[in-house]
Structure 1
Amino acid sequence: MSKTILITGAGRRLGKTLAEYWLTQGWQVIAHFNTVCELELHPNLRTVKANLAEQKDVASLCQELALAGPVDAVIHNASCFIPDCAATDLGKHYEVHFNVHVKAPAMITEALQWAPEAAMVAITDIYTDIPNERFAAYCASKAGLQNWALSMAQRLAGKVRVNVIQPGPIQFLPEHDEAYRTMVLSQSLIRRELGYDAIVEACHYLLSAKALTGTQMRVDGGRFVANRYDQTFRV
């Protein structure tokens, strides 16, 4: 019988790449998405829609997942990335980030049935350990996700292995101009765009490495240990 993986934020970009990879591995994939799902139909694919910033959506999603049967793996990938300067309501701004990054993963994890030797990965950010004044809500909530995940490694010990991936500059978006790309890559020790496959490889390793739990893996091309004074974003 094939294994089952739940991936949040799987409608596009990194989450879509993760879902497509596990489909090629013969897994049953439950792909959560918010507004847009670019995944093609597949007999092993089940999509579920929910806005993780909204309590009622998360509650409905949890009810659905509770009936989905045991899962072998979970990747908490869904993310909210809004600069603080764009917030018109500061309280709501923080609430949305913490709902998506901390509250929703906690509720989803509590609702799931787990298969034997299951594993979970939470995707945070290298900026959980480096303050960034432009994205304080994002950084604080991703740090909350990381701390929560490590707490789950303790709580679920012997039942579910839990690890954290801290991505750095993995793949640029179309709106990133050449000057921005050059600046970011100059702050990386590898100095090239790593692509989403770098995160796929890290997730595959952590989900299959039976001796690892409670770990944090940086997938950032060495940016975290590069010259820290040069790592302030000014877009």
Structure 2
Amino acid sequence: MRTIVITGSSRRLGLFLVEKFLSMGDTVIAVTRSDPQDFQPISSEHLHLIQIDSYDQLGITKTMQAIEALADRVDLLINNASMYDADPESVEELEDHYLSLFNVHMLFPSLLISALKERMYNESTPGVVINMTDIYADNPNPEYSLYCSTKSGLESLTRSFAKKFAPGIRCNSIMPGPIQFLEQHTEQQKSEVYKETLLPFEGGYMPVFQAVTFLLDNHYVTGTSIKVDGGRSICRG
């Protein structure tokens, strides 16, 4: 039985990944800032919740204390926690906004990977780290410049940690595109996205899970990134 740690695990892709790995018989340690009530529909003795208040050193301390009591070995860490917010219009709000993005996308993954090193490092059967970034890391959206820059930073950290922890830990990233629209997206907004995507339909979460399982199972891949975006990053325009 494998042990999987997933951050940002209470909704959308994170929750989907939690449910998929539980269905495969794995033990899942779900790190979240959300209320544990969000997980009520899931009934499994193999699901362990760690609720933290913030993605910072205090959050790491609480996370590691819980993991140390639960598992001697971590096979897979998925850094999925994310904030997708546009740049603030007010200069006064910029610092707090940027620090929040930095903490979620760069600081917490860095701290967690480093803290879990002893439980993941094994040259015979390396632990696996997968960072969820964004195709905007390569081609930034100017309205979300701060978000994009921290996702780009996580891309760089992925390659840095691949070098730092080889051969005992493999580190890769997945760069999703328009896999699942939000409820507030209008049909017009969806249509505009489809026009700029080579595969003009909503991908759903399963293609991301398939990329995760590929990176988990392929023992000769590290320091790389997989785009799961229906070709949006190389649109015809």
TM-score by length of 1: 0.91
Match of 2:199 in 1: 190
2:58 is matched with which residue: 56, 59, 65?
Answer: 56
Cα deviation for residue 54 of structure 1 reads 4.3
1:1-235 correspondence runs (5 A): 2-37=1-36, 38-39=38-39, 40-67=42-69, 68-85=71-88, 89-112=93-116, 113-114=119-120, 116-228=125-237
Q: Take 1:226 and 1:36, find their aligned partners in 2: how far apart are those partners?
A: 39
Could you give the per-residue CA deviations for residues 57-108 of structure 1, whole angstroms, max 9, x where no partner exists? 2332233334432100111100011111366521111100000000001111
Aligned length, in residue pairs: 227
Find the aligned partners of 2:12 and 2:47 in 1 and give their Cα distance: 17
Unaligned runs of 5+ in 1: 229-235
The percent of aligned pairs where both chains have the same amino acid is 35
- Distance in 2, Cα, partners of 1:227 & 1:85: 31
What code does the residue aligned with 1:122 have? N
TM-score between both structures, scaled by the size of structure 2: 0.91
Moved more, 80-89 or 94-103: 80-89
Q: What is the alpha-carbon distance in structure 2 between the residues aligned to residue 23 and residue 163 of structure 1?
A: 22
For 1:198-220, what per-residue CA distance to the aligned partner results, in whole angstroms no more than 9, with x for missing partners? 11111111111111111111000
CA distance in 2, matches of 1:36, 1:194: 28
What is the CA RMSD across the aligned residues, in angstroms?
A: 1.5
